[in-house]
Structure 1
Amino acid sequence: MKRIGVLTSGGDSPGMNAAVRAVVRKGIFEGIEVFGVYSGYQGLIDGKISKLEAGDVGDIIQRGGTALYSARCPEFITDAGQEKAIAHMKEHGLEGLVVIGGDGSYRGAMALTKKGIPAVGVPGTIDNDIPGTDYTIGFDTALNTVIEAIDKIRDTATSHERTFIIEVMGRDAGDLALWAGLAGGAETILIPEQAFDLDDMIDRLEKGKKRGKKHSIIIVAEGVMSAQELANLLSEKSDTETRISVLGHIQRGGSPTARDRVLGSLFGARAVEALLKGEGGQAIGMVNNKVVDYDMEEAFKLKRKVDMSLYNLSKELSI
């Protein structure tokens, strides 16, 4: 294998640039030409492909987002879209592809592999919801962004003796809410993987007030409900005065933490090694602090599970 491509797809996450840099420089080190595909699978369909040299990925390791840009691409789901992409890859002589993104991006990589173009997936998403890996690129940075916001909101919650509801990202996965809630000392954490009892939540808030607690923090993952919906429920069933804060896309931005830079570097380099072995349909991940590669199709038969011991601990510590 002498020529490979690299793209970033789906939602951006801090550390993607570290992974792109690693793919390019590891490839060059191994004697491979590496081509960047701009704007994800849409760029593959449109032929937005150009060769990257070592200097082209200089000074990006510290930047959030993705220097290769990203885009949603419904057309790539179709057979016709995939054939257009493959035609452009063949025009540039690309024999393999590294795809950095989430579950939708992985499905695209599997489709290419089945059509004879070996593709390897690198997990880049702040949701930490990819099966087969303990951590994804961007999760740690987003987590620290949320924690910083919680700390600041707690200051005003304390000053005004109020309950704040903070809505964080996580449509189908609660890792960001759970880890941030535990690290930020939240009294209540709502995640998609666990049903919640509104009466129990109100009872916990009341018990806190009785022991002299002046404020409370509730973290809710967007996949459960919006912060406003939860505030409405609480006002209907109790006299709890709440304020809401929706963190939104601030969670995706910012300079990646050291952990995400290292993860991106490790994963990107391992992806090149997998392609050199001719292994398509593989995903890169970390399990028990070791970098691994595994079959994507088999991994997606499994369901990513949240660590319920953390959830239970958060309830025990927020009495």
Structure 2
Amino acid sequence: MAKTISKLGVFTSGGDSPGMNAAIRSVVRTCAYHKIQCAGIYRGYEGMIEGDFVPMDARSVKDIINRGGTILKSARSDEFRTKEGRKKAFDQLTKAGIDGLVAIGGDGTFTGAMIFSQEFDFPVMGIPGTIDNDIFGTSHTLGYDTALNTVVEVIDKIRDTASSHNRLFFIEVMGRDVGHIALNAGVGAGAEEILIPEEDLGLDRLLESLRRSKSSGKSSSIVVVAEGDKIGKNVFELKDYVESHMSEYEVRVSVLGHMQRGGSPSCFDRVLASRMGVKAVESLLEGKTDFMVGLINDKIALTPLTKAVKGKSDINLELLRVSEIMTT
């Protein structure tokens, strides 16, 4: 029998991403719309264990839809990985009268929420917030679109320098396990080559591609590299290898790092966060639990947390082929 929800807790966990604040806002205002209480949980599972809660209403989330990061902060929690730690969190939630949770984060966040729900029969709903777009059950995670726009803008600026000095730039972007950012930003910015974990280009083929670009008259080149690419140990090793085989190029490396996570969310991410927040709260009120809210064929849909955690986010094969044609 479904539990009646009277007070929801919302928190963010793991790496921050643009759109998290917009999702918090949506959750809080949907609670207000349905006349149930809402509490913000600071610092993710760590704050849950410590009872770091704050009441939130429609006015407490004004002017945050355009802000990057997360007003509820984020933190890793080793203690929550233990059953004793999760019991402390459950006791704190019960004490505060919180009887449902909306978890905003990635697969680590969802794994914790799923285990917690199973152990204590506690209703939970997940909203995917990670710039890597590496969650199964949604075509877009919160922050992914913003990160893409940030990366493309930076690459455009770097290309100005590359073309002015006849340089080859290796630009490393986030993507430890998947190459969504590298592939899409590479195509969007007109990169000469794109290196992603899903496709092992190989050092020889990379050199061949760069030589082909050079012989076609290109005086500079941009190579976008996902941080999880397997060709070299790291992007600096790639730089050294190319320099040793192509002395005609002056090679530089730019690691974009955490700048990809920051900044004001795009309109797409703000709208997506608003849609996901409404769906998460209303699904819990309908008695659903252990689901993640996602975008599938432009429709907001639910995917079981078990599938979201264990499933694999596949690379777009059509776009991969487009990238091969565009780099000719």
Which amino acid is the alignment partner of residue 145 of structure 1?
Answer: T
**Alignment partner of 1:130 is 2:130:** no
Deviation of 1:243 (Å) = 0.5
Deviation of 1:83 (Å) = 0.6
The residue number in structure 2 matching 1:227 is 235
Q: Give the superposed CA RMSD.
A: 1.0
List aligned pairs for 1:69-218, cutoff 5 A. 69-114=73-118, 115-218=120-223
Deviation of 1:183 (Å) = 0.3
Question: Identity of counterpart residues, as a percentage?
Answer: 50
Is the Cα–Cα contact under 8 Å of residues 112 and 118 in structure 1 kept in the other structure?
Answer: no
Is the Cα–Cα contact under 8 Å of residues 170 and 223 in structure 2 kept in the other structure?
Answer: yes
| 1:81-138 Cα distance to aligned partner (Å, 9 max, x none) | 1111111000111110000000000011101210211110000000000001110000
Deviation of 1:258 (Å) = 0.2
The residue number in structure 2 matching 1:270 is 279
Is the Cα–Cα contact under 8 Å of residues 107 and 308 in structure 2 kept in the other structure?
Answer: no
The residue number in structure 2 matching 1:237 is 245
**Secondary structure of the equivalent of 1:5?**
strand
**Secondary structure of the equivalent of 1:300?**
helix
Is the Cα–Cα contact under 8 Å of residues 192 and 213 in structure 2 kept in the other structure?
Answer: no
Deviation of 1:216 (Å) = 0.4
Is the Cα–Cα contact under 8 Å of residues 187 and 315 in structure 1 kept in the other structure?
Answer: no
Which amino acid is the alignment partner of residue 318 of structure 1?
Answer: T
**Alignment partner of 1:59 is 2:68:** no
TM-score, normalised to structure 1, is 0.98
The residue number in structure 2 matching 1:287 is 296
Which amino acid is the alignment partner of residue 27 of structure 1?
Answer: C
Which amino acid is the alignment partner of residue 45 of structure 2?
Answer: Y
Name which of 262, 266, 270 aligns with 1:253: 262
- Work out the CA distance in 2 between the residues paired with 1:211 and 1:232: 23
Q: Which runs of 5+ in 1 are unaligned?
A: none
Name which of 9, 12, 20 aligns with 1:5: 9
Q: Which runs of 5+ in 2 are unaligned?
A: none
The residue number in structure 1 matching 2:319 is 310
Deviation of 1:278 (Å) = 1.8
- Work out the CA distance in 1 between the residues paired with 2:257 and 2:70: 18
Deviation of 1:299 (Å) = 3.3
- Work out the CA distance in 2 between the residues paired with 1:68 and 1:152: 33
Would you say how many aligned residue pairs link Structure 1 and Structure 2? 319
**Secondary structure of the equivalent of 2:222?**
strand
Is the Cα–Cα contact under 8 Å of residues 110 and 309 in structure 2 kept in the other structure?
Answer: no
Is the Cα–Cα contact under 8 Å of residues 68 and 262 in structure 2 kept in the other structure?
Answer: yes
